[in-house]
Amino acid sequence: MTLSLGEVLVFLVLVSWGLYVFQALRVRELALDAARRACKQESVQLLDESVAVQRISMSRDDQGQWRVWRQYRFEYSIDGMERERGHIIMLGPRLQALVMAEQSSTLH
């Protein structure tokens, strides 16, 4: 059995896409963990126990390597009634910044 060049290319594209999706899920989980820690530290409630992708682009890291840059948003409540928004910036699997209303902290 031999594979044509087209079949090999389709296979490589599918494998690449699968790896990207797996990595994206891993990074999303890291962002969610960061949101949970920040909310616990600030004694606020993380609403919906989730983060959502807001923007995706490419950017270089400190070593000059291209990485996927992702901005996630999340919502939290200080008093259980009002919703506040925060966002998390990830460069590859690394947390770059976490911003909550009225305050900002950059983490490396």
- At 37-57, the pLDDT tens digits run 999 999 999 999 999 999 999
Neighbours of 50 (CB within 10 A): 14
Q: Using the 8-state DSSP alphabet, how is residue 102 labeled? A: T
Under the banding of pLDDT at 50, 70 and 90, the label for residue 104 is very low
Residue 84, burial from CB neighbour count under 10 angstroms (0-12, 13-18, 19+): middle
So what's the pLDDT on residue 102? 55
Domain boundaries, the chain: 5-106
pLDDT digits (tens, 9 = 90+) for 1-23: 788 999 999 999 999 999 999 99
Give the strands of the sheet with 84-91, arranged side by side. 45-60, 66-77, 84-91, 94-100, 103-106
| Whole-number average pLDDT of the chain | 91
For every residue of 32-95, DSSP letters joined together read: HHHHHHHHHHTT-EEEEEEEEEEEEEEEE-TTS-EEEEEEEEEEEESSSSS-EEEEEEEETTEE
pTM of the predicted model as reported, rounded to 2 decimal places: 0.82
